[in-house]
Structure 1
Amino acid sequence: MASSTPVVIYPPDEDGGRRVRVDGTILGLAYSTRDVAAFLQEAGLQGWDEMDVVRSALIDWRGGGPDAWNH
């Protein structure tokens, strides 16, 4: 992970999904912090769980924090 905030979680869409971008690549739509953790594990952060997602300074939450999943 190259930049200071290499993970970007975009605002929720009309269905509550949030795009997850890691180092410039969109990995997919997350519908919960559990989904974000799964994407980050696939990106190489093997030990990450939902609490790591909520607390991490590596994540730039746009359009609301880790508790915002409704459009």
Structure 2
Amino acid sequence: MSAPIVVHRPSSAGGRAVTINGAIAGLARDDRDLVEFLRRAGLDDAWDILDNPNWIEWRGGRAHEYEAA
């Protein structure tokens, strides 16, 4: 089973696309943006799950890095 939240590889312009259950949540430029997307999706404990691979899959690049690739 894959994680319901995917933080995609950094784009060439910076930031990372975020999908939640396959739906686009937005473009995160830092962890605060990511947490806000998750909060809007109903995850009030978002800060606590950022490094939990059961919840979030970080693709292409290191977790928590949003700079252009």
TM over 0.5: yes
Q: CA RMSD in A?
A: 1.6
Q: Distance in 1 between matches of 2:2 and 2:9?
A: 20
**TM-score, normalised by the number of residues in structure 2:** 0.82
**TM-score, normalised by the number of residues in structure 1:** 0.80
The answer to which structure has the higher strand fraction is: 2
How many Å apart are 1:4 and its aligned residue? 4.1
Gaps of 5+ in 1: none
Gaps of 5+ in 2: none
Q: Give the total of aligned pairs.
A: 67
The percent of aligned pairs where both chains have the same amino acid is 37
Runs of 4+ more than 6 Å apart = none
Structure with the larger RCO, 1 or 2 (CA within 8 Å, 6+ apart): 2
